[in-house]
Amino acid sequence: MIYRNEELRDKFVRIFDTTLRDGEQTPGVSLGIRQKLIIAEQLDKLGVDIIEAGFPIASPGEKDAVTRIAKLGLNSQICGLSRVITKDIDACLDCDVDMVHTFVSTSDVQRIHTIEKSREEVVELAVSAVQHIKDHGVTCMFSAMDATRTDIDYLTQIHRAVEQAGCDVINVPDTVGVMVPSMMYRLIRDIAETVSVPLDTHCHNDYGLAVANSTAAIEAGASQVQVTINGLGERAGNADLAETVMILHTIYGAKTNIETEYLFETSRIVEQCTGVRIPQLMPIVGENAFAHESGIHTHGVLVRTDTFEPGVMTPEMVGHKRRIVLGKHAGRHAVKLAIEAAGFQTTNEQLAEILNRIKELGDKGKPVTDADLYAITETILGEVSKKEQFIDLKEVSVMTGNIITPTAAVKAYVGGELRVVANTGVGPVDAALGAVQNLLGEGTKVHLQDFKLEAISGGSDALAEVTIAVEDADGRIVNARAAREDIVMASVEALVNAINRLIMVRGRA
Ligand code: MN
């Protein structure tokens, strides 16, 4: 017998995304209007039911952003946040939102020390806020802020009062992330017995349980869940949209309107807009989410992917890619496939020697790039490729500063023909990498799939190590690395390496 949970099979769950509100409150994050519009359009493409676009009373810029998002005419409903204060609600209504989400602190600790109101006053404020919202004909959601640290009898009292006042949805926020799934399950089940409006939940990740608490709330009867892209939000963040949705779809068999094949793309767009890098080990969308290195696992996955992956969830479902990483744990199988894919033919003895060298490199603590693998293979096969490089770089010069547009000029032999190209960019690296890409004619164009920069030591003379992956029109990806004291030169060298190796692979294919 294999354990399964069928209770939520085919249950529909509404996805309420708060990347643009709680997510923007991530310490250190501030989004410009352009970035907010990009994210809102992407959330709509992803299929979220409701976008919490911001807190209009917070600033004129915020109000303008919410207004412009509401005017985009998206399929997603647009929600604005307000305290239980008339001017906050009016600011939301001015933006022409579909829904107003109004909140007030109900836990003793927040009520006494932040808003300094009695329990009765808080109930009165909540009721009149809900009435004011409903008088204007928009959907109303109410949140008892810090609900999970609120006395349950008082929580019931305020929930019943706002339900009577016409509130459409009650959100149960775990504002400071202190729940565990079994507690969340009981709390939501108990609340569901006292009110009949749909329940929503908003879980924070202070103990790493935001997603688990959210799914427990849904098991207990909640029909809507608040999430953010990449788990952004205050402190340790909110429940991550991708994780929550993939658990709902693939473990419970529940349904949402999310088009999961856009999850990876959405994560990367939000990463770029916010500047908050996601961890390599992040579930679903992280670099390693579908990566395999050890011989046992890669052999298994190459035979049948569900041997060492969830199986019910695949990289294709979330718009990600499976990756076999070569390193000290590499197996013969994976190495053989990787070099055959690049068009090399080896004998068993040569393959064994290539594997040894890969493990030696891995033992030095470095992942083995495609360029490393090909260089090793060429050495073992006695092929010398230095003079056959597609791009043979001759000169690189870069100008940058506070009063000029960063500009790079590159001179190189490309397929034997001398070319000189200049390019501008947002910085010297961007300008130089763009110039190298511009050396390539139609038919050899590549797309920069990944760029990673690491400083190897501490000072301003630190060695910069750049790893670049390029992808051609057929989806072939090749990565290469270079390390130099000069960050521009390290970047250019890594890109030229990657392009030369990619051209070589194409030539063999
Ligand atoms: Mn929050």
DSSP three-state, residue 419: strand
pLDDT digits (tens, 9 = 90+) for 420-450: 999 999 999 999 999 999 999 888 889 998 8
Domains of the chain by residue range: 14-274, 291-383, 387-508
CA–centroid distance, 382 to ligand 1, in Å, is 61
Predicted pLDDT at 409? 96
- pLDDT band, residue 323 (cuts 50/70/90): confident
Q: Report the CATH architecture of 14-274.
A: Alpha-Beta Barrel (3.20)
Reading the block at residue 177, the tokens are: 């992330």
Could you tell me how far CA 270 lies from the centroid of its own chain? 6
DSSP three-state, residue 498: helix
Predicted pLDDT at 464? 86
Rounded Cα gap, residues 436 and 422, in angstroms: 9
- pLDDT band, residue 462 (cuts 50/70/90): confident
CA–centroid distance, 151 to ligand 1, in Å, is 19
Predicted pLDDT at 433? 96
Predicted pLDDT at 386? 53
CA–centroid distance, 18 to ligand 1, in Å, is 9
Tell which wins on pLDDT, 460 or 265. 265
* 485, pLDDT greater than 70: yes
Rounded Cα gap, residues 346 and 92, in angstroms: 67
Rounded Cα gap, residues 419 and 438, in angstroms: 10
Please indicate whether the domains covering 14-274 and 387-508 agree at the CATH topology level: no
The average pLDDT across 152-173 equals 98
| DSSP H or E stretch at residue 350 | helix 348-363
Contact 147, 172 (CB under 8 A): yes
The average pLDDT across 246-259 equals 98
- Ligand 1 ion: nearby residues, β-carbon < 5 Å: 22
CA–centroid distance, 388 to ligand 1, in Å, is 57
Cα distances from 252 to residues 4, 219, 241, 255, 403, in angstroms, run 8, 9, 16, 9, 57
Rounded Cα gap, residues 107 and 178, in angstroms: 13
H helical segments located in 382-486: 428-438
CA–centroid distance, 193 to ligand 1, in Å, is 25
Contact 439, 458 (CB under 8 A): no
Helix axes 33-46, 263-274, angle to 10 degrees: 170
* 388, pLDDT greater than 70: no
The average pLDDT across 404-418 equals 94
Query: Sign of the C-alpha dihedral, residues 172, 178, 183, 184?
Result: positive
Rounded Cα gap, residues 185 and 259, in angstroms: 27
CA–centroid distance, 53 to ligand 1, in Å, is 14
Cut 0.85: pTM above it: yes
CA–centroid distance, 234 to ligand 1, in Å, is 6
Reading the block at residue 334, the tokens are: 């994976």
292 by Cβ neighbours in 10 Å (0-12 / 13-18 / 19+) ranks as buried
The average pLDDT across 5-32 equals 95
| DSSP H or E stretch at residue 128 | helix 119-135
Predicted pLDDT at 42? 98
CA–centroid distance, 23 to ligand 1, in Å, is 8
Least confident span in 127-136, 233-242, 291-300, 457-466? 457-466
Q: What is the CATH number of domain 387-508?
A: 3.30.160.270
Rounded Cα gap, residues 411 and 501, in angstroms: 19
- pLDDT band, residue 293 (cuts 50/70/90): confident
Predicted pLDDT at 327? 86
CA–centroid distance, 245 to ligand 1, in Å, is 19
pLDDT digits (tens, 9 = 90+) for 326-335: 888 888 888 9
CA–centroid distance, 160 to ligand 1, in Å, is 23
* 387, pLDDT greater than 70: no
- pLDDT band, residue 385 (cuts 50/70/90): low
| Mean pLDDT for the chain overall | 94
Predicted pLDDT at 91? 98
Percent of the chain with pLDDT over 90: 77
- pLDDT band, residue 384 (cuts 50/70/90): low
CA–centroid distance, 463 to ligand 1, in Å, is 40
Hey, which of 267-271, 302-306, 366-370 has the most confident mean pLDDT?
A: 267-271
CA–centroid distance, 345 to ligand 1, in Å, is 56
* Cα-based angle 101, 148, 116 (whole degrees, multiple of 5): 70
Percent of the chain with pLDDT over 70: 99
**Total count of residues recorded for the chain:** 509
CA–centroid distance, 38 to ligand 1, in Å, is 22
DSSP three-state, residue 377: helix
CA–centroid distance, 96 to ligand 1, in Å, is 23
Predicted pLDDT at 389? 84
Give me Rg for the CA atoms of the chain.
Answer: 27
Rounded Cα gap, residues 200 and 169, in angstroms: 7
Could you tell me how far CA 336 lies from the centroid of its own chain? 33
Reading the block at residue 142, the tokens are: 């109410």
Contact 184, 150 (CB under 8 A): no
